[in-house]
Structure formats: structure tokens, C-alpha cells
Amino acid sequence: MQRREFLKLSATAGAVSYLTACGSSKKETVIPELPADQQVNYSACLVNCGSNCPLRVISQDGRILRVETDHSGTDQYGDHQVRACLRGRSIKQRTYAADRLKTPMKRKAGTKRGDGQYEEISWDQAFQEIGSKVMELQASHGPRAIYHHYGTGAYYGFASSACIHRALNLSGGHLGYYGNYSWAALNVAGPATFGTGGTSGTRLSEIVHSDLVVGFGFNPFEIRMSGSGEQIDFLNAMEQRRANNQPLDVIIIDPRYTDTNLGKEDQWLPIRPGTDGALAEAIAYLMISSGWVEQNSKAFLDKYAIGYDRASLEQAKLDNPEYAELIDSDENYHDYIMGLGRYAEQGPRTAEWAAARCGIPVNQIQALADKIMAAQTPYITIGAGCNRHACGEQTMRALYMLPILTGKLGEHGVNSGELPANFSLGASGMSAGSNPESARISFHTWAEAIERGEEMTATTDAVKGLEAGEKLGTNIKAVFSSSGNALINQHSDINHTRAILEDESKCEMIVVTDCWMTASAKMADYILPDTTWVESNDLANDSYASGETGYLTFLSSGIEPMYNCRNLYQIGLGLAKVFGQEAAYTEGRTEQEWLEHLYQGTRERNPELSLPATYTEAQKLGFVRRHSPKTHVALRSFIKEGQPLNTPSGKIEIFSLDWARKRDEWTPLSDKAFDQITPLPHYTEAWQGFEDAETRDEYPLQIVGYHTKGRTHSSYHNVEWLREAVEDAAWFNPVDAAKYGVRGGQTVTLSSPQGAIRVRAKITPRVMVGVVAMAQGAWYKGSTAGAVDAGGCLNTLTKYHPLPVSKGNPQHTVRVKVTA
Amino acid sequence: MNENKQYGFYVDTSKCTGCKTCHVSCKDRKDLPKDVKWRRVYEYAGGNWQENGDGTVEQNIFSYYVSIGCNHCSNPLCVKACPTGAMYKRRSDGLVHVDQGICIGCEACARACPYDAPQIDRDRGVMTKCDGCHERLALGRKPICVESCPLRALDFGPIEELRAQYGSNADINPLPASSTTEPNLCIKRNRNARSGGQVLNWFEV
């Protein structure tokens, strides 16, 4: 039936040859694929991996039989299928999981948050009690006392967490947040350097033009696993280039021998976590001290950048008079790297200086520098793992210097170091409406704002939306979390967070909406059960990092909403009614009318797709995709067309004028180097980092957290098929296993200054000596704040310590000791 | 369907990233219980580390994955080992199936198979294994593991066609020598393929 719908549609689509839909038309009349009593509906996997893969859910009598995925077209690159990975393929077990939340619940009187003891209540009682408390707090503390936290577990277009934001906005407003746990440091390092968001890098398919790929923490084969994800763009480009016998050298720099290696690389350089900036500065030293920059890229730097040397900064003073008094031309990159002038005492950033820190021998640093200098079209890219460190802002900017120093930016095949730009089809999403409250905190500081929000300001805590000199003025008194697990599991320092949340005199109400009893749900006062994707009518696009194929899925369901669950639109509506704002919330539309409304918006945004006239017809079609019709090269419009960048100077800022101002105006957390804002990128030793004298003797091993293929962050952790397919274990290098007496398969205790976990050990040569690799996202199971976490959640070990500019998260900076 | 064909699998170990989508999509198709894995993905790795004494290290580490279901061998040791005749090779397509009505769950087939293809269902006390997705083949589809692979590292078809397209190699570490069972399997060898490594992920397979 669906195939026929598609054939009708493609007959009208004319030249739109990229439009594809379910099934291949070849077998149209041969044999029906499904027995008459089975049906297929399109759903999608909506977690935060960067792709929203379509799922073809095959059901019978309202029960899921199995799950398939996009199977349309030729599957040749450019018309390749959007194949869901193992996570999407496990959705049946996730849907029927034993820990599904089935009915609204309230924490039992007399129990503590985190005890996990609840009583069932009606939806009416839940809405009345929650809504009344919100209105009471609005009256007593104002909207800044009400906060809805970050959560990315369900990228719906319609029944998303925007519905809860919408209801809270209609209650009188609430404290907002900015930023995210993935990209906090790069989202400020990118703007400081290039005036971008840090995600405007050259497309991976441009690697067909590249003779060198240098990837720092670049791991698309583990984090972008969709069958049309970034891994496929990268793989296709590498294969094309190698098949044509064009030169291509792929160098991966990572503490782990990741699955992006496996013979696809030409060289793996293992590196200590957090030291990539030291390596970058040593390479810069070799590029400058050899005279290569002077001969090859100095003219580029003079024309397109500010801050390389004294003369550049003198010119910048003239060109940017409003920043002139913040610029000291002694503070330039050349002198910093060469150890000249004010940097004489610090000395030059030689390969010898870097080698002992990063662990890469001097000759290999020299060889890497030589390759970068010799490359005609270097694709240098920096994975977001480099940004989630205590000094991640510095690391990102130190690494961005390498592509800048080559002077080859703007050419095909050359990247700026940023994450690759995505190609997406636009979908209209539910609007949260406008928030009457303008104040926003960094996503990472919410728990701190429960304790000292009233003191927070723009210049101490990077609060946005305040008047000059204004304090936030209130602590957070109510926290909502929807489709998220960052209330405890995914936030830094679980024991610290738990101690704050357990004190009911501070945060007076916690409301969690989710489908499963997550670690965060167990911290809630009220748990509201959401429906899952496969029970939903909705719409979704390809998401934010899905590579170069865009797509839309129009979700329908062959199974009824389970138990006493309601979707987030209905939950938001229930709250809005208590606030007396039903009409403003619904705008007079039924759910079906909202879906139609959002569909028509989506249809208008994609005229080239010739989408069906109605949402119902689109649900029958289920899925459309389109490969990017054009490419993207980072900074090309600036270099080739003279369009100024969105930095204060309009140029690439090696010396950030904005950060010079922030250094002047902001108050750092302490006088330590790692808390300072510096206009130039500086490799900086981190608290609990490799060099940290305070912790390195007691906690001799560094941990590098990584994204396991068996979950997306913490989503899907409760699926048995995935737990047995992808082992959760702490990886020990055989050298360390021998040194610390660790046996493979043994359960060990890992302790950091912040907490301790129990986890199985795996002995593997695929991790750097001195480093333990551990997948993040396992569900925390500690019984009290400070107790050993039998769930093995990495954030029981991490520290809460906001970064200087972003006030973001440093969750890859961890030192531990291991005991039996 | 043509008579007397022999089906087989192709595995491109240069593309495979060990993501286990094949393993999980297979489990979803038949709701396989815990510990029953009709398709398994072996993580093979080796090499050595050297600490230089100046804070730097050097290494020659290698790794790659090999995804294996059942190779529906031409010399199926599982069939020979079966005392009841429950394990049999289909004449029509060469697929090796197990008749669970006859199987006594003695696991002789599992002990005989060097690829670990027969997988015991302990709750039911019967042997299970990859059945080649015969109901999908009848519809002109390929096995679910093949169609699920995000890397397009798997293929399936008449073995002579696969060998013509991909070559006839069926050997790579850590698999047993292909001379043992004459597997209907084609393998593209990873750049890293060599001896001297070990399987790292016994938990997962």
C-alpha cells in the first residue's frame, strides 16, 4: 500500500529524482512482503547521536513483531539508505522494557529523593499539585526560581520537551539555559576564533580533495553510526581517493585505538587525555621556528587573521579602536610559541616540551609537523572529545591554530578544524512560545544555582539576559527534566549533585517526565510517564549531525499508547490548564490539527520534495530523503568572497578581542591558570589533569570517557540486547594491568577525588598506557551521596568545575586509582 | 527458487567497525533470548607497547572485527556430530537448519562447530542457529543482518556469485582454517589482518 502511494507520488514529482520512499519498486507485484494481518509503520530513533534514523516497525494486533529500516533506492552513495544502527534495531525491547513508567507517581512521604519509593497518583492530582506549586513559586520567588533542565532523549518535532517549556512560559516564565553538554567549549572557542558556532567545518565528502587527514579525537565510526551518518561520508571519500590512487594520509590522534582506526588509518598516535593542546603548540613551534610560516603562510596570516605577531596586533589596535586599550602587542602568538619577550621565562613550546606531556615521541611530533607543512589540502579536524576537558576552551583554540597556520583555509578539501557542517531538511517543530523571563544560565550551572543562584551575575557566572550589574536574585526552587537524564546521571559529579538535590529545603520540587525509570527519575518528587516514539504520531527531521543526507520521517503507530502514559503535548496541556492558559497553549488546535499545522510548515519549507498534501498522506509515505545538492568548505566565503567573519575584527582571531574584553571585565573562579580567560590560546595544565601535582600520586591513572556504541549517552542503557552486545568495562592497557594487578573480567573499584564506582575490567592494548577508557552513560546506582556506585556511571567520578568562558562541563578530566 | 544452489555470506573486514547492528537486528527478528547470538562479531587485536622512559610511548597496535553467523558449510561438522539427525543441510539451498522437534539439546553440534554457530537455548533445551533468513529469501530479500549493516560490509547470495564478485578467500584470524569445514564464506581481508593477536571481546560473542 505504501509503495503504491509512493509510486503515485513519484509520478507527480517529475524531476525530483532524489525523492525516495519505503521499499524498492522493483518487487512491486511479485510477492507481498507482509502477511495481510501485519502492518508496517514508520517511526524513528530520536536520541541524541546526531542522526534520527527511520524505523519501519512491523506489528500485528497492536504488538511489535520486528523492526527494519530504510530499504529504498539503489543504496549507492548519494542515494544511500538511512540505516538505523543497533540501537534503533533494539527498539522493541526498549518499548517493552520492564522499567517502563506506567502511571503518574509521587515520591512517598517520609522517603528521601533517590530512595526510589513512589505511590501511584492520578493525572489530575499530578497536574494540580505540580501546577499549584509552580504558581506558588511564581508568586513568592518569581519565574527565575523555576527551571527546566537540558534533555535530548527524544527529538520529536511535535510532542517534545518544548511542550513543557511552553506550559512553563505560560505560567509566567521560567529561568532558561544556554549551551549543551556536548559542545560547550567549542561553542565559545569557535566564535572567538572564526565567528562561527564551531560546527561550520568543511564537509567530510570534501576529503576526496584532501591529501592529509589529521583527526584529533575524531571518531565518526563510533559516534555517527547511522548508515547515512558522517561515518559514511568519510568512508566514501577515503575509499574514492584510495581507489583512484590519489595520495591520502590519515592520522588519528586519540587515547584509544578507536573503531575509526581498524586499518582505515595510516597512523595512530596515542595521546594522553587533555594534552592535545601541548601537541598543537609543539607543531606550531616547528612550523614557525623552521621558517616555514614566514615563507608559506605569513601573508595569509597578515591578511586574514589578527594576533600572529606584534605587527598584527599593532594593526589590530588601529583597525579596532574600541578594543585598542585591551590589546598589548607583546601578547602575540609568535612570541608565545617561541618563548620570546614576555614569554621568555616560560620558554619555547618545543617538541621536547610537549613530548613528555602528551606521550608522543619527539621524532613522531616532528614527522606530523612535516606532514602538515607538506600537505597541499590538509583536512584537520577536532572531535568534540577535545572540548569536554577542564581546559577544553584552551585545547580547542590551540588546535584551531594548526589549520590557520597552514594558510590553506578556504580551499577544497581543507578544513578549519571545526566539526563538519551538516546537511538537513527543515522540519517545523512545536514552539515553546516566548519566555517572559529573559535570564538564562549556562546549562552546566543549574545545580549550583539551586545553592547560590541569588548571587549569580553575568561577570562571575556568565548569566545572560540580566541588566548591567544585576544579580540573578533567587535560587532555583523547582526543576523540571523532560526526556533527559542530566538531572543526575549525565551531569558532572553525581555525589555533589545528589547532596544538593537531597536537601528539600533548597529545591522544593523536582518533576521528571520520561518513559523509563532512569537514575534521574529516581531523584524526582513527581514522575510523569511519557509515551515512546513507536506509540506516537509525530514528525522528525534528520537531526543535527547526520552527515550529508537530509531526511524527514512522518511517524505513525501500529500500537496504542501503552499503560497510562501521555505524550508531552498532553502533559504540557494538563499543566497549562492549571495555569489557566489552556487557550493560549492550544491556540485552538486539537492534537491532530497541530500535527497538520506543523506538517504544512514542513511542507512549505521543502518545496523541492513535492510532499503530499496532508499529514495523513505523509504518514503513509513515511519517509523521504535527499542528498545534499552542494558542498561546504569552511571559511570559503570569507577567503574567496571577502565576507567578513562574525568576530569583532571580522577576521580570524588568533588573539580574541572578545576574550580580551571578558578577561578585563569578568571575575575568574580563582587565580589559578586553569580558571583564567586568555585572549591567546594557551595550553594550560588542568586540575586533575596529567601534570596535576595535587592528585597525580594518589590517583595515578587518567580516565578518558567515550561514547559507547551500546547506548546514546544514557539512552538505551536499559536494553538487555545492547548490554550483552557491547560490554561495559573499564579498559586497562596490559602494562597498567600488570602494574596495578588488574585481571580481565575482574570487578574493580575506580576512585577519584569525587567518588567511586564498581566496574568490570577489560585488558586491551587499544588504550594508551596510563589511561583507563570507560564508556559514559551507564545508569548510576549509588544508594546515598558518597556511596560506591555499583552502576558504574562515569559521572560518579567527574568533577563539577565550570570552564572560564562557557561555564561548561569538564567531564573528560578525571584521575583515578584502581583497587580490587 | 532454483534447485540445489548453495548460499553463502560475504564479510568485508576492511569496512566492518564492529558496531553489532547485524548481531542485534538478528536477535530482533526472532526475539532471541539472552546469550543466544546467531551472529557474533569478534574483536581481534594485538601488538605491543614500549615505554621510552622519557614519558613517551611507542606501539604497533592493530585491531579489526570479523562478523560471523553460520557459514552453512559444505563440510558441516555440526551435521556430522548430531546424534539424532536434527541438524541437517538443505539440499535446495545449502542452508544448515536444526529441527528442534528432533533436537535433544546435547550440544554435540556446538562442540563440533569451530565458528560457534550453533547456539543453545537453555530455557527450552534445544539448539538454535542462523537459518539464513529463509523466509526473507523467498521474498527476494537478503538476510536481515546483511540489509541492516550500516557499513555495507555484509552480503549474501549463491556462493559462486559471491566468489566471482569478491574472491574466494575465506581465511582471516581469528577464524579457523577454512579447510576444516569448507565454509560458504568470502572474506575481504582487513589491512591489519595478521596473526599474533587475540580475541578481546569474549563477553560480547
A700-738 pLDDT tens trace? 999 999 999 999 999 999 999 999 999 999 999 999 999
Query: Would you say residue A23 has pLDDT above 70?
Result: no
Q: Which of B23, B54, B191 sits opposite A355 (nearest CB)?
A: B54
Return residues 226-255 of A near B (CB < 8 Å): 226-227, 229, 231-232, 235
Return residues 91-110 of B near A (CB < 8 Å): none
Residue from B139, B203, B204, B205 whose CB has the most chain A CBs within 10 Å, to mutate? B203
CB contacts < 8 A, A to B, total 158
**A263 vs B25: CB contact, 8 Å cut-off?**
no
In a domain, B1, yes or no: no
**B28 vs A766: CB contact, 8 Å cut-off?**
no
User: What SS3 state is found at A44?
Assistant: strand
Cβ of residue B35 closer than 8 Å to a chain A Cβ: yes
pLDDT of residue A31: 66
Average pLDDT over every residue of A675-696:
98
Give me A340's grid cell: 620570546
Q: How far away is chain A from the Cα of B195, in angstroms, using its nearest Cα? A: 15
Q: How far away is chain B from the Cα of A86, in angstroms, using its nearest Cα? A: 4
Q: How far away is chain A from the Cα of B94, in angstroms, using its nearest Cα? A: 23
Query: Number of H helices and number of E strands within chain B?
Result: 6, 12
pLDDT of residue A17: 33
Residue linked to cell 496504542: A560
- Shortest CA distance to A637 belongs to which of A133, A202, A187, A270? A202
Q: ipTM of this predicted complex?
A: 0.97
**A745 vs B201: CB contact, 8 Å cut-off?**
no
Give me B65's grid cell: 572485527
Cβ of residue B20 closer than 8 Å to a chain A Cβ: yes
pLDDT of residue A542: 98
User: What SS3 state is found at B3?
Assistant: coil
Which chain B residues have a beta carbon less than 8 Å from that of A361?
52, 56-58
Average pLDDT over every residue of A24-39:
68
**A89 vs B19: CB contact, 8 Å cut-off?**
no
In a domain, B133, yes or no: yes
Ranges in chain B, pLDDT < 70: 1-3
**B140 vs A30: CB contact, 8 Å cut-off?**
yes
**B24 vs A722: CB contact, 8 Å cut-off?**
yes
pLDDT of residue A16: 34
Owning domain of residue B23: 7-204
For chain A, percent of residues with pLDDT exceeding 70: 96
Report whether B29 contacts B74 (CB < 8 A). no
Which chain B residues have a beta carbon less than 8 Å from that of A226?
150
Q: What is the mean pLDDT of chain A?
A: 95
Average pLDDT over every residue of A64-69:
97
Which chain B residues have a beta carbon less than 8 Å from that of A268?
61
CA–CA gap between residue B137 and residue B135 (Å, rounded): 5
Reported as a pLDDT band with limits 50, 70 and 90, residue A33 is: confident
Average pLDDT over every residue of A382-410:
98
Reported as a pLDDT band with limits 50, 70 and 90, residue A224 is: very high
pLDDT of residue B147: 98
Give me A304's grid cell: 586574514
Amino acid (one-letter) located at A696: R
**B150 vs A235: CB contact, 8 Å cut-off?**
no
Residue linked to cell 552480503: B155
Q: Which of A93, A227, A262 sits opposite B192 (nearest CB)?
A: A262
Cβ of residue B151 closer than 8 Å to a chain A Cβ: yes
Report whether A434 contacts A169 (CB < 8 A). yes
CA–CA gap between residue A222 and residue A226 (Å, rounded): 10
Query: Would you say residue A10 has pLDDT above 50?
Result: no
**B28 vs A722: CB contact, 8 Å cut-off?**
no
Query: Number of H helices and number of E strands within chain A?
Result: 27, 26
Nearest residue of B to residue A67 by CA position? B28
Helix ranges (H only) for A615-732 are 615-621, 636-641, 657-665, 720-725
In a domain, B2, yes or no: no
pLDDT of residue A24: 43
Q: How far away is chain B from the Cα of A264, in angstroms, using its nearest Cα? A: 7
Query: A443-476, pLDDT tens digit by residue?
Result: 999 999 999 999 999 999 999 999 999 999 999 9
Strands (E), B86-197: 87-89, 96-98, 119-121, 126-128, 154-158, 185-188
| Residue A668: Cβ within 10 Å count | 16
Nearest residue of B to residue A53 by CA position? B150
Q: Which of A68, A361, A709 sits opposite B19 (nearest CB)?
A: A709
Buried b (16+ CB within 10 A) or exposed e, A352-382: ebbbbbbbbbbebbbebbebbbebebbbbbb
Provide the β-strand partners of residue A752: A755
**B24 vs A226: CB contact, 8 Å cut-off?**
no
- Which CATH number does the domain housing residue B51 bear? 3.30.70.20
Average pLDDT over every residue of A55-76:
97
- Shortest CA distance to A84 belongs to which of A60, A59, A67? A67
For the whole model, what pTM was predicted?
A: 0.95
A93 CB contacts (<8 Å, ≥6 apart)? Answer: A719, A720, A721, B28
pLDDT of residue A34: 87
Return residues 171-230 of A near B (CB < 8 Å): 221-222, 225-227, 229
Which chain B residues have a beta carbon less than 8 Å from that of A69?
148
pLDDT of residue A32: 72
CA–CA gap between residue A134 and residue A153 (Å, rounded): 24
**B49 vs A225: CB contact, 8 Å cut-off?**
no
Query: Would you say residue A61 has pLDDT above 80?
Result: yes
Nearest residue of A to residue B151 by CA position? A227
**A75 vs B152: CB contact, 8 Å cut-off?**
yes
Residue A680, φ and ψ in degrees, nearest 5:
-90, 150
Give DSSP secondary structure letters for B123-136. TTTEEE---TTHHH
Q: Give the number of domains in chain B.
A: 1
Average pLDDT over every residue of A65-89:
97
Which chain A residues have a beta carbon less than 8 Å from that of B20?
86, 709-710, 725-726
Cβ of residue B46 closer than 8 Å to a chain A Cβ: yes
**B64 vs A30: CB contact, 8 Å cut-off?**
no
For chain A, percent of residues with pLDDT exceeding 90: 96
Cβ of residue B65 closer than 8 Å to a chain A Cβ: yes
Reported as a pLDDT band with limits 50, 70 and 90, residue A19 is: very low
Cα atoms found within 13 Å of the Cα of residue A798, Cβ hemisphere only:
29
| Cα A584 to Cα A173, A216, A480, A573, A576, distances in angstroms | 14, 48, 21, 10, 8
In a domain, B172, yes or no: yes
**A270 vs B203: CB contact, 8 Å cut-off?**
no
Nearest residue of A to residue B19 by CA position? A709
Nearest residue of A to residue B189 by CA position? A263
Q: Which of B19, B27, B57 sits opposite A769 (nearest CB)?
A: B57
Nearest residue of B to residue A766 by CA position? B61
